[in-house]
Amino acid sequence: MPLIDNRSRGVFVIAVTPFADDGSIDVDSLDKVVDFYFEAGANGLTILGMMGEAPKLTQAESIDVARRVIARSGDRPVVVGVSSPGLAAIGELSRAVMDLGAAGVMVAPPGSLKTDDQIVTYYGNVAEMTGRGVPLVVQDFPLATGVHITPGVLGRIVAEQPDVVMLKHEDWPGLAKISAIRTSESSGQRRLSILCGNGGGFLPEEMARGADGAMTGFGFPEMMVVVTSLAGGGDLERARDMFDAYLPLVRYEQQPGVGLAVRKYVLKQRGKIASDAQRRPGSTLTAEAMREVDDLMRRQSKRLGALA
């Protein structure tokens, strides 16, 4: 049961939760898509995040999903989203999934936080609930949470909470934030692992700025693997060529709300999950949108062929 730490790097795919058309959890597809993520080169997984439809699961289902994914992942790390309006629920779910072998837990700040001090205090409360020794990931996603965490505030959290080891970076714009954090670290601030989200839409620039990898979803997770790998190896030009080939679909899948429907449709078309059903409230693709995605996949395939 590996734990993440502040040197963790590579690609942690945000896993979808597959449902059958009747709304039940499709455990066979869950196994299959987990296998697919690792075959595509993922270094780890993140489950029960916003794009994993976590709020649509009962608590018992959440724990079942965590148990199954962690078991299937073997010795690869699985981070579990435990965000909740209440600290008690965060502590409860965190204990449960860490007992199952999770590699760490991720918490996004609730929208009720209004000031810098409130954010710092919040992560203090969270760390006390999850307990010493449980690696914490701060999810910094202002577009979704409404909470803006400056590099300075993050620095205060890092200084006060030794268990905060990773930033799921999805501020937008966010490049300057990566540079600011790395600059602070060169002046003595404790290092954080920075894994980038937002569908990977800025991954080449993020890697060049000092990110350690990606923690995000996309119907073609091999994009994140190849871009982080090439960029990590110093071949940024080739990384960009590959990235550009995927970008039209990345952009399309990155649409808020409807994006998950795109992602599940792509995974279904690729044979990785049996159904693209979402539990309510969820979005579905119209016939027009499906044609758009089909076209994007066709053009992407052609472009990748030319690059091979």
304 in contact with its own copies (CB under 8 A): no
| Minimum CB distance to its own copies, residue 268 (Å) | 20
Q: Which is nearer to its own copies, 115 or 187 (CB)?
A: 115
Candidate residues 87, 274, 290, 304; the one interacting with its own copies per rule CB under 8 A: 87
Query: Which of the residues 198 through 217 are near its own copies (CB under 8 A)?
Result: 201-202, 205, 208-209
In contact, 5 and 80? CB cutoff 8 Å? no
Draw the binding track, 109-148, toward its own copies (x: CB under 8 A; -: no contact).
Answer: --x--xxxx---xx--x----------------x-----x
Residue 12 binding its own copies, by CB under 8 A: no
DSSP state of 19: B
Find out whether 39 and 74 touch, Cβ atoms under 8 Å: no
Amino acid at 163: D
Q: CA-CA distance, 226 to 143, in Å (whole number)?
A: 27
The 280-299 site mask, x for binding its own copies (CB under 8 A), equals: xx----x-xx--x--x---x
| Residue whose structure tokens are 């044979």 | 271
CB 51 within 8 A of CB 197: no
Q: Quick check: 185 binds its own copies (CB under 8 A)?
A: no
Compute the least distance from the CB of residue 111 to its own copies, in Å: 6
**Which amino acid is located at 70 in the chain?**
I
Q: Which of 74, 131, 152, 162 binds its own copies (CB under 8 A)?
A: 152
Cα 5 to Cα 142, 152, 155, 168, 195: the distances in Å are: 24, 21, 17, 13, 12
**Shortest Cβ distance from residue 159 to its own copies (Å)?**
17
Which of these, 1, 16, 29, 2, lies nearest to 216 by C-alpha position?
Answer: 16
**Nearer Cβ to its own copies (114/270):** 114
* CB of 148 closer than 8 Å to CB of 121: no
Residue with the two structure tokens 């449960």: 96
Gap between the Cα atoms of 278 and 26, Å rounded: 11
* 269 near its own copies, judged by CB under 8 A: no
Contact region for its own copies (CB under 8 A) — 73-81, 100-108, 242-250, 263-271?
Answer: 242-250
| Torsion angle of the four alpha carbons 26, 31, 36, 41, in this order, in degrees rounded to the nearest 10 | 140
The secondary element (H helix, E strand) that includes residue 66 is helix 59-73
**What's the CA gap between 277 and 60, in Å, rounded?**
20
Report in angstroms how near the CB of residue 59 gets to its own copies at its nearest. 6
Of the listed pieces 133-141, 155-163, 220-228, 273-281, which binds its own copies according to CB under 8 A?
273-281
Q: Which residues bind its own copies (CB under 8 A)?
A: 54-59, 61, 84-89, 91-92, 111, 114-117, 121-122, 125, 142, 148, 150, 152-153, 172-173, 175-176, 179, 201-202, 205, 208-209, 240, 243-244, 247-248, 251-252, 255-259, 279-281, 286, 288-289, 292, 295, 299, 303
